Amino acid sequence: MFRTRFTARSAPDRTVRTRISAPALRRVAAVIAAISLGLLTDVFALGTSASATTVPGPPSGWSTVFSDSFSGSSGSGIDSQWMYDTGAGSTFGTGEIETMTNSTSNVHQDGAGHLDITALGSGGNWTSGRVQTTSANVGAPAGGELEVTASIQQPTGGLGYWPAFWMLGPGQWPENGEIDIMEDVNALSEVSGTIHCGTDPGGPCNESNGIGSGLRACSGCQSGFHTYTMILNRTNTSAESITFYLDGASYFTVNESQVGTSTWQAAFDHNLSIILDLAMGGGYPNGVCGCTSPTGATSSGGTMSVAYVAAYSTSSGSSGGGGGGGTGASGTGPITGYQGLCLDDRSASTALYNPVQVYTCNGTAAQQWSVVQAGSLIKVFGMCLDVDAAGTADGTKVDLYTCNGTGSQVFIPESNGELYNPQSNKCLDDTAYGGSGTQLQIWDCADTANQQWKLP
């Protein structure tokens, strides 16, 4: 379960992009549709209406890869696309003080198309809620784009409130990647967008602050619903970017060149989970107010209300056509390594922990691997290439396991042919150049012949 999150307090403004964004196109389309129906009242308040609970359709050339409009009955908990992340907020590494629960007092659907996350305080003790998708389920395919968006009304209540809509990759923070699409603190009616990557402390992403927009005005964000969006653009795989939007207008962009290619690939060239939570206290609100929050004047019962969450993707290498957002494979066939040997599922077995080896290429099904670009998962017989027991040491064996999207199963193709596992900071390795029948391992990346692989 993903636990760690840090956030940025300030960062210099960057020049925003001027292209017509996918969020903006959807808003224009919605306006046109509304006019055609004669529904002129409040049509230009799109993104601020409490009744806007319907997930927008994808723009032309995009596909919906995840959505939830929270249509459950009043008082019901989350649906099966989500899971609770419970426990003391102090374990998340951010200084927050609440306890996250699975109680419907803290997290429930309201019967009117909203998911409400409510912080409740009594005598200095606070409970709240944090939910995330059940897997790292959305990512931008190489050569394509991913948009993740939500319609949210921020909570009121005063010092200490810390609502967040964000994404997290599998594996070790911060190299696994984090994208904070919406954060506000202390009920300021502001918003910030931030990325986290690399190493902590310091590193190319200035951890634990990250690279962010800093807080900026978000007028009416506590009195109505507004859309918070990010687009991960991989159409040029050597110059990728992440752009943040408020109500369809871009306000901050981070480029791959700011952190370096290897750091960026480890952080963002794979699937991530979507997370919604309402924290209380911690480093971000305390740093902004210069105080310890929450205080005695902070009101209990502040609610972060979510009308919908959605993710859209283009297909790999195209700004048009259907897309998978990590659900489609970039290719299926043999993966070859040192001396032309093939990656092989020993004895064509689907048993858990079955060894993955190199073997003489023979065209059998045990050597037909599917490489999922956005998730960087490598599959055969529906099972995934996996680092045994989530090991991170040199020499840890590689085997097959049920696909679960954890950091043990992320192998990012590098330009030099290596398959890099961010969780361990090591590469897939043909053990000691061992020859046909040798089980694979992970080892420090060395750009050697026994770590270079040719994908299908």
pLDDT value at position 99? 98
Mean pLDDT of 28-35: 40
pLDDT value at position 318? 46
Q: Is 16 domain-assigned?
A: no
| Same domain, residue pair 103 and 250 | yes
- E strand spans, 85-185: 87-88, 99-100, 107-109, 115-118, 120-122, 125-128, 130-133, 145-153, 161-168, 178-183
**pLDDT tier at 238, thresholds 50, 70, 90:** confident
Q: Is the pLDDT of residue 370 over 80?
A: yes
pLDDT in tens, 46-79: 333 334 678 999 988 899 999 999 999 999 999 9
More confident: 45 or 267: 267
Structure tokens at 113: 């198309």
405 closest CA partner among 170, 193, 186: 170
| Same domain, residue pair 301 and 354 | no
pLDDT value at position 24? 55
Q: Is the pLDDT of residue 1 over 50?
A: no
Q: Is 3 domain-assigned?
A: no
Q: Is 325 domain-assigned?
A: no
Residue 263 CA, distance from chain mean position: 16
pTM of the model: 0.72
pLDDT in tens, 198-214: 999 999 999 999 999 99
| Same domain, residue pair 94 and 242 | yes
3-class DSSP state of 192: strand
pLDDT in tens, 151-197: 999 999 999 999 999 999 988 899 999 999 999 999 999 999 999 99
pLDDT in tens, 434-445: 999 999 999 999
Q: Is the pLDDT of residue 128 over 70?
A: yes
**pLDDT tier at 21, thresholds 50, 70, 90:** low
| Same domain, residue pair 144 and 288 | yes
| Same domain, residue pair 386 and 266 | no
Report the share of the chain in percent with pLDDT over 70: 84
| Same domain, residue pair 31 and 136 | yes
| Same domain, residue pair 303 and 346 | no
Mean pLDDT of 236-243: 93
Q: Is 357 domain-assigned?
A: yes
CB 433 within 8 A of CB 338: yes
Mean pLDDT of 110-128: 96
Q: Is the pLDDT of residue 321 over 50?
A: no
3-class DSSP state of 289: helix
* C-alpha dist (Å) from residue 195 to 44, 230, 276, 312: 31, 11, 16, 20
Q: Is 80 domain-assigned?
A: yes
Instruction: Round the average pLDDT of the chain to a whole number and report it.
Output: 85
- Torsion, Cα 67 73 76 82, to 10 degrees, reads -10
Report the share of the chain in percent with pLDDT over 90: 70
pLDDT in tens, 376-435: 779 999 899 999 999 999 999 999 999 876 788 888 887 788 998 888 889 999 999 999
361: containing domain: 331-451
Q: Is 361 domain-assigned?
A: yes
| Same domain, residue pair 348 and 205 | no
CATH of the domain at 427: 2.80.10.50
Mean pLDDT of 299-316: 94
